[in-house]
Amino acid sequence: MKGELLPAFGIGAPGLVDCDRGVIIRADDLGWKNVRVADTVEKALGRKVLMINRNRGSGLAEARFGAGRGLHQMVYIGIGTGISAAFMMDGHLIHGSSFSAGEIGHITMDKTGPVCGCGKRGCLHVYASGPALARKAESFLSEGRRSILSHIHGVDSELRGEDVCTAAAAGDAVAMDCLRDAASYLGLEIANIVTSFNPDKVIIGGPIGLIESPLLELTIEQTAQWAMPHAFNAVRIERGILGDSVGALGGACRVLDKKLPLVLAARAEKARYSS
């Protein structure tokens, strides 16, 4: 007997996501506010849609199928156009009272720092995200520093954080300085998480975090400098293992977590129409 497909689609979306309503409340790196994604996709596909923040979903997937399997407490940090985290306990995601648990990209690192898209100053996002790496590199290049990034800067293609990470992996001095600057903030934030949450593992992912660059090692060095030694000695900090599709897997996990009510609702609907 063939099993029934779950009657829903799961979506890992950017920004602060209201999982109950399927709404992106805000995605500051994209300039989005109150985007009703679930309603739109449900109308197009004729199926229930369940949403989750893409990095929270990624953490959920890594906890179930990847580098976080079997751990008591785990933190996943996704670095891309923005930065956010998933706090996991015994395989369960901590959502918070309004789904904002893990919005570490908007933790203030410097009260006098640059203005973030959220309107506050000095958020982690403005120092360690992909766009922040690109801006730092552009600043260095405008000062006349030589770099292999120069062939990208100033031409039709836009300099990206991924380019900076790749150049750093090749030993480019400008790119390395960009990563050191980002790691100083990222490592400090992770140190605070390690000290306060005491996780077994911190998993780094996202388009920036998954690149084989010196960013991870530089971040670990900074974390070791600022974290409480007892907590740091108990944690492992490493890259995720599920690759670029991890956010989609997280969306699927969201559906699997709701499988019983979804199946029961579908069967009730089928019975209603057949009676």
Q: Per-residue pLDDT tens for 187-202?
A: 999 999 999 999 999 9
Which pLDDT band holds residue 162 (cuts at 50, 70, 90)?
very high
134 has pLDDT over 70: yes
184 has pLDDT over 60: yes
Determine the pLDDT at residue 260.
78
Check if the beta carbon of residue 115 is closer than 8 Å to that of residue 121. Answer: yes
Q: Beta 32-35 vs 23-27: how paired, if at all?
A: antiparallel
**Which secondary-structure segment (H or E) carries 269?**
helix 259-274
Q: Beta 201-205 vs 73-79: how paired, if at all?
A: parallel
Check if the beta carbon of residue 73 is closer than 8 Å to that of residue 89. Answer: yes
Output the CA–CA distances (angstroms, integers) from residue 68 to 36, 116, 213, in the order listed: 31, 31, 21
Both structure tokens of 155: 């031409």
**Residues near 267 by beta carbon (within 8 Å), at least 6 away in sequence:** none
Total Cβ atoms within 10 A of residue 204: 23
Determine the pLDDT at residue 1.
35
86 has pLDDT over 60: yes
Chain segment 209-248, per-residue pLDDT in tens: 999 999 999 999 999 999 999 999 999 999 999 998 899 9
CA 37 to chain centre: 19
- Residue 250 CA to residue 38 CA, distance in Å, equals 16
- Residue 34 CA to residue 24 CA, distance in Å, equals 5
Determine the pLDDT at residue 113.
96
Q: Determine the average pLDDT of the residues in 48-71.
A: 95
3-state helix, strand, coil in the chain (%, to 5): 45, 20, 35
Q: What percent of the chain has pLDDT over 70?
A: 93
Determine the pLDDT at residue 153.
61
Check if the beta carbon of residue 147 is closer than 8 Å to that of residue 175. Answer: yes
Nearest to 96 by CA among 107, 109, 85: 85
- Residue 259 CA to residue 135 CA, distance in Å, equals 44
**Which residue type is seen at 37?**
V
Query: E strands of 126-257, at which residues?
Result: 201-205, 236-239
Q: What percent of the chain has pLDDT over 90?
A: 81
**Which secondary-structure segment (H or E) carries 139?**
helix 130-142
Both structure tokens of 77: 């940090």
Average pLDDT, the chain: 92
**Residues near 109 by beta carbon (within 8 Å), at least 6 away in sequence:** 122, 123, 124, 127, 185, 188, 189
Check if the beta carbon of residue 169 is closer than 8 Å to that of residue 213. Answer: yes
Q: Determine the average pLDDT of the residues in 82-100.
A: 95
Check if the beta carbon of residue 162 is closer than 8 Å to that of residue 208. Answer: yes
Q: Determine the average pLDDT of the residues in 21-38.
A: 92
Domains of the chain: 70-240 (3.30.420.40)
